[in-house]
Structure 1
Amino acid sequence: MDKPLHPGGGSRRLKLWELEHKCHCPVVGVCFDLKRIRQLVGKVMVTTPQTTDFEIHVTAVRESGSRSALAELLQKELERQYALAVQRFKRARSTDELTALWRDALAITDIAGPLWATLTHPRCTPDLVQTVYGDIHMLQHQVGAGERADLAVLRRLQQEKTELLGARNQLQDKLTALRQQHAREMDELRQQLAASREEALRQEQASARYQGELATLREHLREKETPVALARRAQQAESRYTALRARTSELEHQVDRLQKENVQLAEALTRQPPSPTMPDAPAPAADDALVGRCVLCVGGRTGAAHHYRALVERLGGRFIHHDGGMEENLGRLEGSIAAADAVICQAGCISHNAYWRVKEQCKRTGKPCLYLKTPSLSTFVRSLEQLAQPVAAAPIPCPSEKAAP
């Protein structure tokens, strides 16, 4: 068993400046975000807004190699920020237990706390330091590739969002203008309706007055005037009464027409145009394109296997999965390939050993195999569409392995 890294062989945890120099870069890069590391460096050194993030990072890594003022400040911040992870890793009494805790931590999203707790643990050996360094190095490669693909999708979605927001704002402006116009027209109609009602009331009152006068005249004529005079006055009264009735009827029709127009305008303005919708996500065209075929997926993002399964079963196929040697035994990979009719290899998420095993056996057995650089659902969907065609698409070459810096 390798000896621990502790300078004195004791049980105390290592300080930042006591770590191997190659560990300072991943510790500074993973355990601090850019904004926080700039603040800490600015407390002990002179920086300007023109100082780049890379220059800040290089300065922090250089100063971490000795017990400088910045190194002590970074040590204090790391101990404060990751106290819970350090406390959890204290229960490891041996290098094997510490290694097991580190392996468990690789499955979670936030790896900063476990990284600091592992490298500074008294039972951390040079072999374990090299293992942790290699894991972080490869994890940064995978995260960088995934972030580039995600940024492209994010930029496209942001552009679509901007366009949709612009269309929505235009519709809202039109709706606001229509509402204001409707309010003005409603006010005008209310004023016209009120004036019509007043006019109708005056006409009704005049009609009632004229009817009373007509009745009085008739009575008066019957008592005092000659039949000819009575007839003439009666005829005049009848004419005035008929004219008033006609005017009253005309006003009533006008009031009814204005009320109907008011109702029709209100109904038209309450109808709003439909909201724009986002385009549907891509999906395979046929639901039975893989009936009777078994599809093996090697690698892929953690937790996405159930999505892959649902897509394959939707096309009528059967799905099996192997994580590419991350946790599962590589010895089971050959049996999985033999049981499959086609293979989808997530080349960016598996070990190099697993990649060459898949490539060699698929070439030897003639199994169709697609190599995917980007572990996304949209890429997986496109690969299923290729497998569903009579002749499978040519394999996508895997990027060459890079040497560790």
Structure 2
Amino acid sequence: MLHLGTAKRKKLWDINTGWHCSIIGTCLTTEDLRALARKLHVQTHQDDSTDFRLHGHFVQACSQGGTTAKLLQKLLDRRHSAAVRRFAKADGPESLEEIWNTERKGRDIPGAYWALMSHPHIETGLGTRAYGHIHMLSHLVGASNRADLDTLRSLETEVRTLSQRLESETARHARRMEDKDREIANLERQLVAARSARVNFQAAASAPAPANLNGEPDPDQTRRLQESAHEMAKDLEKTHRRNEELEEAVSSLRGEVRALESALLRTVHSEETGETDLCGGVGDCPFDLNGRCILYVGGRLANVHRLRELVAQWNGELLHHDGGMEQSLDELPSCVVRADAVVFPTDCISHSAALKAKRLCRQSMKPYVPLRGSGVSSFVAGLREKIGDLGPRDPGLAAAE
């Protein structure tokens, strides 16, 4: 008996010519044939039957052993090299058929078919049976085309709907960012005014005390200036505190704008490119939640659906508890148990719900993130800031769910 170590795999022109049609049609795509036709300068009429003519041309060339057949052989071997290596373990017709029967139930039927038909140990009976499997499979594929076309039409309609929704969301986010920019500009103007007032106060404080006609300090005017200076000192202290609050607000708003812009750009990119697994490559996401579950307590119900979609795009899951508006606070502990982290907007949650959420998180040693506001930008910025503190997803918790 020959072994694969010494036997050579069959070339296209050595294979039964009756199998060439199924090999070319199954193991190479229409794009493969078009690319090879351009390389060989094959001329065909450009109409609805162009692909059929190319198929016939290459099937006929298989048995001639010329340049076209050699290029087809090279393309098939390169395209299905992994399957060829799997079939290389077969040392006889029996083991070859066992591998074929296993492989044809998997996803790589084209590769398995080429590896079988070009194997040195293939016999006519096995080749005929494999040809029959592929032949009947082509009938099943043809019968399913009608259903596939209906599905395609439905998907095209859904894509149009999603595109319209994306345009609406893009415009809405653009308006929100314009509002944020105006708010930042207003806060910066207030900061400039406060700093100017501080400079004026310092100049007044350093001025010499007024004198009377005798050249001596005027007690009444000095007292009034001292009272005025005392009031200005109080105002200055208030201004300092307000400045700190404004600077913190400006910094927070800028961070939210950057986070929102990043999330929006990634969402637009995924919709334009059709990449549904946005976080399959972590580099294409603002961050990757790694399957973690986020509990959102309180907030505005109108935003919850949008937040849930964002978290899903970032490879996570969002739970929501309305903070006691319609759901009982007694349900909050079970929600916290399921979550890896808890977030809540400080401007849209009851005091009791916020305190209970914090207490439950401390008891269960889970992080919680108070958000500056209930908008999408605050949510994105809060997660971006705290994502490194969330820790890995607990596999035991995932299994329990």
TM-score by length of 1: 0.48
Structure of higher CA gyration radius: 1
TM-score by length of 2: 0.48
